[in-house]
């Protein structure tokens, strides 16, 4: 599937910044804990005997092995499934893959959230509020968290979050207070949905830096283009290329001849994903929406193609070439049979039919010259 042009849908996203007390796990290297997690490479479960034998070099029944497992369990990396038997949690699997351990820290943080439907993670940033200068910027009184912000935090608890405004730094929120301070937030965070000509879709967030994000799984270029151009025609695929089916009426001469048109969409909108800033779709491939429109289009195209001196053989060749332009959607035989014959065009030209005004001399000069010879 191919597109005619690259399309970028863009908008400023709404964000909210809150200063609040959090317990946040940040990923750091802890070799002693990673050593325990690596024991799971042998099997799905481990026991204190495994720890004693492989790491501590102590008797299998030593209580030290169990103490180590309990300590790792407090990090949320493993859980006991049967008496004395432990397995990795999702957080533990992730920590083992990345080679870093989420370590809890508690303090006052600035949290940036957004409820934009294109975002996989609604928490965009978490930064410690450390300096006196920063603390002095907090105005007003402590208040209950906004309902949606609290819901976003609740949904994110104990999950790995990649912070888009901090270069996708990973954190885990373990606990948060339900009160905080609402801070002034900047409105310079923009989200861009880029539709490449080869069908690929990319999602980028621009704030302090530009970050690539994961677009929704259900996004397909064809479906998106179809939605934003729905007011201009019906999108279909012809020979693996996007084509907008539209009416011939209102098309400019260059659009009729090139079978392409550029569109300015004032407020493109996607189902469930909201509205975007105005966008230009350049040189979209277009074709007639039905047979009647195809015949009307072909009639206009035929006239524009008479832009040089044309006798009967040349005219018949132009008719054939014109009819072929509408394949494979429409039969060239159908188009050809509905275009005027050479004699009919001459008659209309002689009658000074407005339709053939621009083609008058290109048709009449060769005809008059052949009449002299006759």
Give the pLDDT confidence of 56-85 residue by residue, as tens digits.
999 999 999 999 999 999 888 999 998 889
- Please give the average per-residue pLDDT across 96-102, as a whole number: 90
Contact 288, 248 (CB under 8 A): yes
What is the C-alpha separation between 77 and 38, in angstroms, rounded? 12
- Please give the average per-residue pLDDT across 138-151, as a whole number: 86
Task: Please report, to the nearest 10 degrees, the dihedral formed by the alpha carbons of residues 165, 170, 175, 181 taken in order.
Answer: -10
Residue with token string 């012809």: 238
- Please give the average per-residue pLDDT across 139-150, as a whole number: 86
Contact 275, 9 (CB under 8 A): no
User: What integer pLDDT is reported at residue 43 of this predicted model?
Assistant: 83
Q: Which residues contact 125 (CB under 8 A, 6 or more apart)?
A: 110, 111, 112, 163, 164, 165, 166
User: What integer pLDDT is reported at residue 113 of this predicted model?
Assistant: 95
Q: For residue 368, name the pLDDT band (cuts at 50, 70, 90).
A: low
pLDDT tens digit sequence for 21-36: 999 999 888 899 999 9
- Please give the average per-residue pLDDT across 238-263, as a whole number: 93
Q: Is the pLDDT of residue 323 over 70?
A: yes
User: What integer pLDDT is reported at residue 112 of this predicted model?
Assistant: 95
Phi/psi of residue 299, each to 5°? -65, -40
Residue with token string 């908008």: 11
Contact 92, 73 (CB under 8 A): no
Lowest mean pLDDT among 179-183, 304-308, 359-363: 359-363
pLDDT tens digit sequence for 340-362: 887 777 777 666 656 666 665 66
- Please give the average per-residue pLDDT across 280-292, as a whole number: 95
Q: For residue 311, name the pLDDT band (cuts at 50, 70, 90).
A: confident
Contact 355, 303 (CB under 8 A): yes
User: What integer pLDDT is reported at residue 374 of this predicted model?
Assistant: 47
Q: Is the pLDDT of residue 124 over 80?
A: yes
User: For 299, what's the count of Cα atoms within 13 Å in the CB-facing half-sphere?
Assistant: 17
Q: Could you tell me which residue, 350 or 229, shows the higher pLDDT?
A: 229
User: What integer pLDDT is reported at residue 369 of this predicted model?
Assistant: 55
pLDDT over 70 percentage in the chain: 89
User: What integer pLDDT is reported at residue 69 of this predicted model?
Assistant: 94
Q: Is the pLDDT of residue 254 over 70?
A: yes
- Please give the average per-residue pLDDT across 88-114, as a whole number: 91
SS (H, E, C) the chain: CECCCCEEEEEECCCEEEEEEEEEEEEECCHHHHHHHHHHHCCCEECHHHHHHHHHCCCCCCHHHHHHHHHHHHCCCEEEEECCEEEECHHHHHHHHHCCEEEEEEEEEEEEECCCCCCCCCEEEEEECCCHHHHHCCCCCCEECCHHHHHHHHHHECCEEEEHHHCCEEEEEEEEEEEEEEECCCCCCEEEEEECCCCCEEEEEECCCEEEECCCCCCCHHHHHHHHCCCCCEEEEECCEEEEEECCCCCCHHHHHHCEEEEEECCCEECCCEECCCEEEEEEEEEECCHHHHHHHHHHHHHHHCCCCCCHHHHHHHHHHHHHCCCCCCCHHHHHHCCCCHHHHHHHHHCCCHHHCCCHHHHHHHHHHHHHHC
User: What integer pLDDT is reported at residue 133 of this predicted model?
Assistant: 47
Residues in the chain: 374
Name the residue among 77, 148, 153 with its Cα closest to residue 109.
153
- Please give the average per-residue pLDDT across 269-277, as a whole number: 94
- The token duo for 130 is 């450390």
Q: Is the pLDDT of residue 247 over 80?
A: yes
Q: Is the pLDDT of residue 135 over 60?
A: no
- Please give the average per-residue pLDDT across 200-227, as a whole number: 92
User: What integer pLDDT is reported at residue 358 of this predicted model?
Assistant: 64
User: For 70, what's the count of Cα atoms within 13 Å in the CB-facing half-sphere?
Assistant: 7
- Please give the average per-residue pLDDT across 188-200, as a whole number: 92
- The token duo for 302 is 């035929």
> Using CB atoms within 10 A of its CB, is residue 330 exposed (0-12), middle (13-18) or buried (19+)?
buried
């Amino acid at each position: 599937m191919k597109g005619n042009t690259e399309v970028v849908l863009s908008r400023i996203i709404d964000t909210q910044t809150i200063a609040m007390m959090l317990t946040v796990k940040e990923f750091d290297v802890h070799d002693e804990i990673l050593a325990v997690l690596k024991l799971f490479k042998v099997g799905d479960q481990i026991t204190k005997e495994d720890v004693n034998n492989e790491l501590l070099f102590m008797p299998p029944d030593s209580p030290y092995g169990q103490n180590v497992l309990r300590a790792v369990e407090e990090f949320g990396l493993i859980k006991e499934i049967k008496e004395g038997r432990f397995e990795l949690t999702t957080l533990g699997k992730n920590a083992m893959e990345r080679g870093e351990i989420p370590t809890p820290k508690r303090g006052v943080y600035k949290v940036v959230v957004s409820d934009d439907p294109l975002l996989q993670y609604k928490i965009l940033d978490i930064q410690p509020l450390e300096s006196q200068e920063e603390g002095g910027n907090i105005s007003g009184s402590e208040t209950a968290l906004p309902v949606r912000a609290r819901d976003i935090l609740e949904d994110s608890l104990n999950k790995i979050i990649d912070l888009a405004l901090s270069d996708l730094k990973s954190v885990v929120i373990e606990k948060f207070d339900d009160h905080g301070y609402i801070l002034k937030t900047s409105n310079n965070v923009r989200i861009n949905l880029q539709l490449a000509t080869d069908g690929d879709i990319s999602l980028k967030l621009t704030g302090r830096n530009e970050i690539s994000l994961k677009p929704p799984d259900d996004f397909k270029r064809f479906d998106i283009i179809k939605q934003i151009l729905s007011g201009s025609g019906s999108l279909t695929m012809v020979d693996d290329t996007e084509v907008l089916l539209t009416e011939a009426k209102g098309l400019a001469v260059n659009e009729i001849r090139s079978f392409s048109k550029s569109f300015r969409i004032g407020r493109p909108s996607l189902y469930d994903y909201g509205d975007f800033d105005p966008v230009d779709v350049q040189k979209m491939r277009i074709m007639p929406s039905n047979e009647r429109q195809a015949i009307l289009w072909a009639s206009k195209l035929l006239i524009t193609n008479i832009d040089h001196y044309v006798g009967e053989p040349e005219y018949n060749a132009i008719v054939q070439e014109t009819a072929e332009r509408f394949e494979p959607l429409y039969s060239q035989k159908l188009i050809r049979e509905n275009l005027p014959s050479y004699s009919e065009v001459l008659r209309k030209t002689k009658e000074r039919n407005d339709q053939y005004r621009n083609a008058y001399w290109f048709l009449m000069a060769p005809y008059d010259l052949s009449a002299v010879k006759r």
